[in-house]
Amino acid sequence: MTEKLNSEQGIIIPPKGLAILTLVGPSFVWCAEYIGSGEVILSTRVGAILGPTVLWAIIVGIFLKYWIGMSGARYTVCTGEGMIDMFARIPGPKNWVVWIVLVAQFASAAVSIGSIAAAAGVFVNSLIPISPYFGGLFVTIFSLFVVWSGIFNVLKIFMSFFVFIIIVGVLYVTFNVLPGVSGLAQGLLFQVPAVPDWALNLKGVSSNPWREILPLLGWAAGGFASQVWYTYWVLGAGYGAANGREYGVPADVDKLKKMTRATAEKIKGWCRVVYTDATIAMLIGNIVTCCFLITGAGVLGPNRTAPDGAQVAVELSTIFSSTWGVFGGFLFLLAGAAALIGTQIGQLAGWPRLLADAVRICFPGFNRRFEWKTQFRIFLSFFFLSNMVIVFTMGLKPVFLVKMGAILDGLLLTPLQAVWIAVGLYIVMPKLLSKEAGQVLKPGWIFLAILLIAFLVFGYFCIFQIPTSLSS
């Protein structure tokens, strides 16, 4: 009787007010996953070279991707299926969007996961006297251990811990180098400063400032895949129609077609939960990423250095320790290592899910032959091996690998993702729901407006700035 009062069609009554905060969880996995290489390496490097003037790039990138991720999660809350299944329903040739995602993301995944392993190995080596190669191996094995079960709550516990370490470490350092109100305000004026003469003498620095800004935009709030993964974390948390659902299963269309207005009203309450959850991820991501950039501007800039190679962590530690002593340098490195390990865990939890979904849809026989957990572990094992190949064959080139991953995953598909999600929310979802449920759960105009803005902004960078920066 109690279950009948509290749930209809499997939809639990959503919390209200401050009680929403007790169910926040996907946000910690989301932000712990995307706070990584882009923040620890790229943000400090860009801050050193261009100063706090480019804070706008971080804020714009995270804000727009926050809306992309939250819009995809809203679809999941209303239908109970993840973003890849939504892409399979986009009008046009059968599964055409999923095929694009499968091909593009398979390449992006190998490079991006490998870049994190290389960077994490360098930072672990700065904290523990082991080879950076074995540091990368240790991080990958540890991440494999955390995600192997595929259970969301295990992931949530570890990622929440890493978020805490990151925030404590980076805030301690940043408070000592804040540029003041005028300096921070200048970073919001959408200026693109010239690369200083001293930086042009450094390895890997171009006179074109977009060569530094574009990767930062690409990794701010993660790339294309991060927004897909957020729908998985919402599925794992059981928000709205995701309650009781399993990974790797499309929506129950017959059930959605019978959804009553009362059930839709409950789901609408869960939409507010996901808005709160996503906003927490956005705020944490903005604060931490901006802090890393400000730290780079306040510490590395005056020392006229922007680490590029395998010694990035050692150089950062030496400079930070000379400013605040051993404790300050240790805290920064601890925050950096935690961010990179958290990202590695998130990527190894997310990409196998994404690719397993894409292969399941494009190759139905694969799904009939293997259950979801086996599919997930097949891709997980593959990326474990590809990690080792990249780290041990390409060498420790964290900045090069991170920049490459940022362009591949962070920018190239993001404008299309914004359009595809808009189609999913406004064309696909109404066809899945009953008429009365569709009226209740119809998204407001703000989602469409900002998704179109995201398409235009990231499309501009892809069409105009990426070719120019690569050729300069």
Tens of pLDDT, residues 285-314: 888 888 888 888 887 788 888 766 545 555
pLDDT for residue 277 is more than 80: yes
Phi, psi of 192, deg, nearest 5: -120, 95
Structure tokens at 289: 């990423």
Q: What is the dihedral of CA 124, 33, 273, 171, to 10 degrees?
A: 50
> What is the average pLDDT across 2-16?
59
Give the C-alpha separation, 234 to 242, whole Å: 7
Q: What is the structure's pLDDT at 205?
A: 84
Which tokens sit at 66?
């926050």
> Distance (Å, rounded) from C-alpha 305 to C-alpha 316?
9
Domains in the chain, please, with CATH? 17-471 (1.20.1740.10)
Predicted confidence at residue 323, as pLDDT, reads 59
**pLDDT above 80: residue 221:** no
At residue 6, the pLDDT reads 42
| Tens of pLDDT, residues 158-176 | 767 777 776 776 676 677 7
From CA 113, how far away is CA 132, in angstroms rounded? Answer: 16
User: Which string of DSSP letters, residue by residue, matches 71-85?
Assistant: HHHHHHHHHS--HHH
pLDDT at 1 over 50: no
Does the pLDDT value for residue 397 go beyond 70? no
Instruction: Give yes or no for residue 425 having a pLDDT over 90.
Output: yes
Mean pLDDT of the chain: 81
| pTM, entire model | 0.86
Per-residue model confidence (pLDDT) at position 139: 83
Q: What pLDDT is attached to residue 455?
A: 94
- Rounded to 5 degrees, what are φ and ψ at 135? -65, -45
3-class DSSP assignment, residue 12: strand
